C-alpha cells in the first residue's frame, strides 16, 4: 500500500494505491506508483539528480528511509509506504 | 536611528505618568530588540518577587529593528512574568500590529500600574493617549477591535483582550488584527489585571534604512529563497500548518487522548488536506508575508480564522474528537473570548482523563464534541465547570490529587508532539524557559521534517548541542523580530545580513549566536531567581514510564537523563542548572 499526503494529492486522483512491491527499491516503487496512480508526482519528492529533496519524508512501515538505504531501501510484500512532500508548520 | 523609531514609552496606568525609556546603543546591540530587549528591560524593572498581577508588574510590548521592514515583519513580542507558569515569558503575535506600532512612532511600550477604571491606549505620532474603555469592557475581541476602530480610525491596528483577559484567566491571549494571537502564557490576563482593554496604533512614519541598496538586494534575495523553498513557497501556502497532522500521526507521536496514544485513527479527517477541501475559504497573510499560512475558514454557521495545527490537535486528537466543524468553532470561540487554544484544549483533555479515572466527577467524556464551545465559553467567564477548567491543567490535576495527569512543563501545557517520538524535542520541552512550548527549539524540524538536516529522532547523541543552538537562533529571530517560518528557507547568516542593511551594524554569525545565548541565559537567570532549577527541567512521568503499544513510536520512552547534564555543560551551567560565573562573565551578564 502506497499512501500519498500533502501536495502529492494534487497530482494523483486517489490518496492510496495498492502495488505489488515485493523486493522493489523505493525508487522503483515510486516510478511504478506514478504509473498506477495516474499522476506525475516525483518532482514533489526528488531533485533533478533524482535524490531526495530536503524535507521529503518517505516512511516504510513507519521508518524513515533516510535511516535505511534511502531510495535503495527494499520494500517487501505487504509493507506500507507513506509519501510526504516537504512540509513544515509549528 | 536606523531600524528604530527611537522611542520607548513607559506608562504607569495608576498615576498616568509617562516617561521615555532611554536604551543605549550597546544594549540594543547586545539584545537586538523584541524578545531580547524586552526581557532585558523587564529584568531591570521587575524582580522574581514580582507577582504577575501586581500593580508593580510590567507588561512590555516590543518591536524589533526589522519590524516594519522586510517580509513577515509585522510581528511584536509581549514580555512579562507569566501568571500561568511564574517564569519569564514572551509571547509572539503576527498580523500588522508590530509594524503599525512603529509607524505610530514607538519601538516599544512598557505598561505598569493599574488603571482605576477600564482604559485603552491610542498610539499616534509617538504619543500615547489614555482613553476611557468603560463601554468596551465585556466586549469580545472582535467587537472590541471594531469599536476602537470606529472611535479612532478604520486603519488603526488594535491589540486587545476579550472576557478571558478581563477575568484574568491564566491562559488569556492578546488578540490583534482580528484573529492573530499572542497566545501562550497568559499575557492577556495581565492586561486584564491592569484594567487595560486594548492598545490601538495608527500612523505613517517609516523605518530608516541604513543601506537602502543593500536592503533592496537582501529583500529580493529573500523573496527568491522563500519562493523557491518547497515549505515556504508551496506547502504552507496550500495546506497551512495543519499539513503536520498526517505527518506527525504517521510517526506515531500525534498525542491522542491526553498523550495516552500516539496514533489518532481519525487524523485524516482533521488534516490540513481535509481543511483545504472543506472549510477553507482563502489563505490569509500577515504584514508583507508572501507565505500566507493563515486559514480563513467557514463552517455552516460561522466563519473566522483557523484552525491551525496546534488547535486542530488540542480540540481534536487530544480529546478524541474528529468533528472538524466542532474543532473549528471551538477555535473561533477562543479567538473571540481571547484564550490560548493549546492550554484550553490540553486542560479539557486532562479533565477528561481525570473524570475517566474517577479523580474528578465533572462528567467530561472523550470524544464529546457537542459541548466544546460551551466549555470554552464557560472557562472565559469562570462559570460552572469552566471555573475549574480556568485553573489550567497543572492546578486542576493537582487539586484532584493526580498531578501526573497534567501534560505540562513548568505549568505550561505541551503542544502537539509526543516527546517519546523525538528525544531532542523532549529536551527542548524540558529546558524551555517558558515551559512546555515548541517554539524555543523546534527540534521537530530536524528530527521529523528533515530541516535543515535529517537526524535520528530516537537518538540522544548530539541533541544537547543542537537544542542549545536552536534555542539561541530562535532567540535571535524573536528579537529581530521576524516570523520563525523564515527559518525553513534561510539561516543565521541571512538574518545577520538583514540586520546589517537595516541597522548599519555588522553582526558576525558568532556574535549573533552569542547574543542568542545571552538572551537565553538572562531568561534562565530570572527563572532561577524565581525558584526554578534542575527539578523543573523535566516532563510529566508518563513520558518516562509508559510506552505506546502501537505506531512507529511504540516501545519508546524519553531518555532525558542521557541529555540533561550534557545540555547544562554546553550551556555553561552547573549541575543544578544555574549559569556558572565564567558563563555570566563571557556573556557580560
Q: Which of A5, A62, A88 sits opposite B231 (nearest CB)?
A: A88
**In this predicted structure, what is the pLDDT of residue B325?**
98
What cell numbers appear for A17 in the block? 494505491
Rounded to whole angstroms, the Cα distance separating B366 from B349 reads 8
Residues B428 and B406 in one domain: no
**What count of other Cβ atoms lies within 10 Å of the Cβ of residue A62?**
15
Q: Which residues neighbour B303 within 8 Å (Cβ) at sequence distance 6 or greater?
A: B281, B296, B297, B332
Contacts of A89 in chain B (CB under 8 A): 236, 240-244, 293, 308-309
B449 and B517 share one domain = yes
What are B142-170's pLDDT values in tens digits? Answer: 999 999 999 999 999 999 999 999 999 99
Whether residue A20 is predicted with pLDDT greater than 90 in this model: the reply is: no
Show which residues on chain B lie within 8 Å of chain A, measured between beta carbons.
Answer: 230-232, 234-236, 238-244, 246-247, 250-252, 272-273, 293, 308-310, 438-439, 442, 445, 448-452, 454, 456, 484-485, 488, 551-552
Residues sharing a CB contact under 8 Å with residue B63, sequence separation 6 or more, in sequence order: B33, B34, B76, B77, B98, B99, B101, B102, B106, B107, B108, B481
What topology is assigned to A2-78 in CATH?
Answer: Ubiquitin-like (UB roll) (3.10.20)
Pair B349, B464 in one domain:
no
Alpha-carbon span B478 to B472, nearest angstrom: 10
- Residue ending a domain, among B366, B383, B413, is B413
Residue keyed to cell 532611554: B22
Torsion over CA: B147, B106, B76, B341 (sign): negative
- Whether B162 and B252 map to the same domain: the answer is no
Q: Is A28 on the interface with B (CB under 8 A)?
A: no
Contact A88 B252 (CB under 8 A): no
Residue A79's pLDDT band, with cuts at 50, 70 and 90, is: very high
Q: pLDDT tier at A90 (50, 70, 90 boundaries)?
A: confident
Same domain, B404 and B435: no
pLDDT band at A21 (very low <50, low <70, confident <90, very high): confident
Residue B234 belongs to a domain: no
Residues of A with Cβ-Cβ distance to B309 under 8 angstroms: 89-90
Instruction: List chain B residues with CB under 8 Å of A88.
Output: 231-232, 235-236, 243-244, 445, 449, 451, 485, 488
| Same domain membership, residue B172 and residue B283 | no
CA distance A57 to A70: 10
Report CB contact under 8 Å: B231, A9.
no
| B210 in a structural domain | no
Residues B333 and B460 in one domain: no
Looking at the fold, whether B566 and B494 belong to one and the same domain comes out as yes
- Interchain CB distance below 8 Å, B451 and A89: no
Q: How buried is residue A15: exposed, middle or buried, by Cβ count under 10 Å (0-12/13-18/19+)?
A: middle
Identify whether residues B317 and B251 lie together within a single domain. Answer: yes
The answer to whether A10 contacts chain B (CB < 8 Å) is: yes
Identify which of A59, A66, A86 has the shortest CB distance to residue B250: A59
Please state the domain count of chain B: 3
**R_g over Cα of chain B:** 22
Q: Say if the Cβ atoms of A66 and B488 lie within 8 Å.
A: no
C-alpha distances in Å from residue B255, one per residue of B262, B264, B315, B419, B464: 5, 8, 11, 9, 24
Residues of A in contact with B250 (CB under 8 A): 5, 59, 62, 82, 84
Give contacts of A54 with chain B, Cβ < 8 Å. Answer: 450-452
Final residue belonging to a domain, choices B385, B413, B441? B413
Q: Shortest CA distance to B285 belongs to which of B65, B78, B73, B63?
A: B73
Yes or no, beta carbons of A57 and B438 under 8 Å apart: no
CATH number at residue B260: 1.10.569.10
The alpha helices in B301-362, defined as continuous H runs, are 309-314, 324-337, 341-357
Residues B301 and B429 in one domain: no
Helix (H) or strand (E) holding B110: strand B108-112
The verdict on a CB contact (< 8 Å) between A84 and B247 is: yes
Residues of A in contact with B449 (CB under 8 A): 55, 57, 86-88
| Residue spans of chain B under pLDDT 50 | none
pTM of full prediction above 0.95: yes
Residue B206 lies in a domain: no
Q: Domain boundaries in chain A?
A: 2-78
pLDDT in tens, B277-332: 999 999 999 999 999 999 999 999 999 999 999 999 999 999 999 999 999 999 99
Q: H or E element: which one contains B122?
A: strand B119-124
Claim to verify: residue B158 and residue B290 sit in the same structural domain: no
Judge if B84 and B196 occupy the same domain.
yes
Residue B338 lies in a domain: yes
Domain final residue pick, B386, B413, B440: B413
Could you give the CA distance from residue B412 to residue B391 in angstroms, rounded to a whole number?
Answer: 12
Report yes or no: B14 and B55 within 8 Å, Cβ to Cβ.
Answer: yes
Q: Give the three cell numbers for residue B231.
A: 515549505
Residues of B in contact with A60 (CB under 8 A): none
Identify whether B232 is part of a domain: no
CB contact under 8 A, A6 and B448: no
CB A81 within 8 A of CB A52: no
- Cα four-point dihedral sign B415, B421, B425, B430: positive
Note the pLDDT of residue B475: 98
Q: What is the pLDDT, as a whole number, of residue B1?
A: 84
CATH of the domain at B117: 3.60.9.10
Range of the domain at B16: 8-201
How many helices (H) and strands (E) chain A has is answered by 1, 7
Amino acid at each position: 500500500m502506497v499512501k500519498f499526503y500533502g501536495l502529492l494529492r494534487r497530482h494523483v486522483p486517489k490518496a492510496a494505491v495498492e502495488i505489488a512491491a515485493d523486493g522493489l527499491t523505493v525508487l522503483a516503487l515510486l516510478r511504478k506508483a506514478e504509473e498506477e496512480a495516474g499522476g506525475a508526482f516525483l518532482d514533489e519528492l526528488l531533485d533533478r539528480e533524482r535524490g531526495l529533496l530536503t524535507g521529503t519524508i518517505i516512511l516504510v512501515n513507519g521508518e524513515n528511509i533516510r535511516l535505511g538505504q534511502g531510495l535503495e531501501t527494499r520494500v517487501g510484500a505487504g509493507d506500507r509506504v507513506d509519501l510526504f512532500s516537504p512540509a513544515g508548520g509549528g | 536611528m536606523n531600524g528604530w523609531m527611537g522611542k520607548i514609552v513607559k506608562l504607569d496606568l495608576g498615576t498616568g505618568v509617562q516617561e521615555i525609556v532611554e536604551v543605549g546603543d550597546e544594549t540594543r546591540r547586545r539584545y537586538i530588540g523584541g524578545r531580547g530587549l524586552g526581557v532585558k528591560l523587564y529584568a531591570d524593572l521587575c524582580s522574581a518577587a514580582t507577582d504577575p498581577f501586581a500593580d508593580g508588574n510590567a507588561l512590555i510590548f516590543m518591536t524589533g529593528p526589522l519590524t516594519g521592514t522586510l517580509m513577515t515583519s509585522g510581528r511584536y513580542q509581549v514580555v512579562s512574568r507569566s501568571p500561568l507558569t511564574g517564569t519569564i515569558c514572551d509571547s509572539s503575535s503576527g498580523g500588522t500590529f508590530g509594524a503599525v506600532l512603529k509607524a505610530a512612532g514607538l519601538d516599544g511600550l512598557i505598561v505598569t500600574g493599574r488603571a482605576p477604571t477600564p482604559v485603552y491606549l491610542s498610539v499616534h505620532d509617538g504619543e500615547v493617549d489614555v482613553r476611557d474603555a468603560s463601554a468596551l469592557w465585556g466586549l469580545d475581541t472582535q467587537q472590541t477591535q471594531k469599536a476602537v476602530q470606529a472611535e479612532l480610525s478604520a486603519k488603526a491596528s488594535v491589540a486587545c483582550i476579550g472576557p478571558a483577559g478581563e477575568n484574568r484567566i491564566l491562559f488569556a491571549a492578546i488578540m490583534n488584527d482580528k484573529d492573530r494571537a499572542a497566545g501562550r502564557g497568559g499575557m492577556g490576563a495581565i492586561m486584564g489585571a491592569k484594567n487595560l482593554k486594548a492598545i490601538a496604533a495608527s500612523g505613517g512614519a517609516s523605518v530608516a534604512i541604513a543601506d537602502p541598496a543593500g536592503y533592496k538586494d537582501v529583500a529580493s534575495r529573500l523573496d527568491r529563497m522563500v519562493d523557491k523553498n518547497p515549505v515556504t513557497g508551496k506547502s504552507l501556502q496550500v495546506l497551512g500548518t495543519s499539513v503536520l497532522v498526517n505527518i506527525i500521526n504517521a510517526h506515531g507521536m500525534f498525542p491522542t487522548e491526553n498523550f495516552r496514544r500516539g496514533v489518532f485513527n481519525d487524523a485524516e479527517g482533521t488534516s490540513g488536506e481535509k481543511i483545504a477541501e472543506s472549510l477553507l475559504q482563502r489563505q490569509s497573510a500577515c504584514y508583507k508575508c508572501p507565505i500566507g499560512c493563515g486559514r480563513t475558514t467557514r463552517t455552516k454557521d460561522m466563519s473566522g480564522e483557523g484552525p491551525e495545527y496546534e488547535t486542530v490537535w488540542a480540540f481534536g486528537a487530544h480529546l478524541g474528537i474528529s468533528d472538524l466543524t466542532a474543532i473549528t468553532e471551538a477555535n473561533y470561540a477562543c479567538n473571540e473570548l481571547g484564550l490560548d487554544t493549546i492550554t484550553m484544549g490540553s486542560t479539557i483533555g486532562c479533565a477528561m482523563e481525570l473524570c475517566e479515572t474517577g479523580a474528578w466527577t465533572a462528567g467530561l467524556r472523550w470524544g464529546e464534541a457537542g459541548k466544546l464551545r460551551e466549555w470554552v465559553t464557560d472557562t472565559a467567564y469562570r462559570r460552572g465547570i469552566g471555573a475549574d477548567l480556568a485553573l489550567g491543567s497543572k492546578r486542576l490535576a493537582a487539586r484532584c490529587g493526580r498531578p501526573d495527569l497534567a501534560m505540562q512543563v513548568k505549568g505550561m501545557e505541551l503542544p502537539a508532539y509526543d516527546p517519546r517520538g523525538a528525544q531532542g524535542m523532549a529536551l527542548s520541552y524540558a529546558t524551555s524557559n517558558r515551559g512546555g512550548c515548541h517554539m524555543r527549539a523546534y527540534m521537530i524540524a530536524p528530527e521529523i521534517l528533515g530541516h535543515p538536516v535529517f537526524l535520528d529522532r530516537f537518538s540522544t547523541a548530539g541533541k544537547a548541542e543542537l537544542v542549545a543552538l536552536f534555542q539561541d537562533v530562535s532567540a535571535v529571530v524573536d528579537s529581530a523580530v521576524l516570523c520563525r517560518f523564515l527559518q525553513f528557507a534561510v539561516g543565521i547568516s541571512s538574518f545577520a545580513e538583514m540586520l546589517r542593511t537595516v541597522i548599519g551594524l555588522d553582526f558576525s554569525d558568532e556574535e549573533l549566536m552569542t547574543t542568542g545565548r545571552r538572551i537565553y541565559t538572562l531568561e534562565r537567570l530570572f527563572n532561577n531567581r524565581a525558584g526554578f532549577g534542575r527539578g523543573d527541567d523535566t516532563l510529566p512521568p508518563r513520558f518516562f514510564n509508559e510506552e505506546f503499544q502501537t505506531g512507529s513510536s511504540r516501545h519508546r520512552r524519553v531518555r532525558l537523563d542521557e541529555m540533561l547534564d550534557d545540555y547544562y555543560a554546553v550551556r555553561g551551567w552547573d549541575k543544578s542548572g544555574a549559569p556558572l560565573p565564567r558563563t555570566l562573565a563571557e556573556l557580560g551578564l
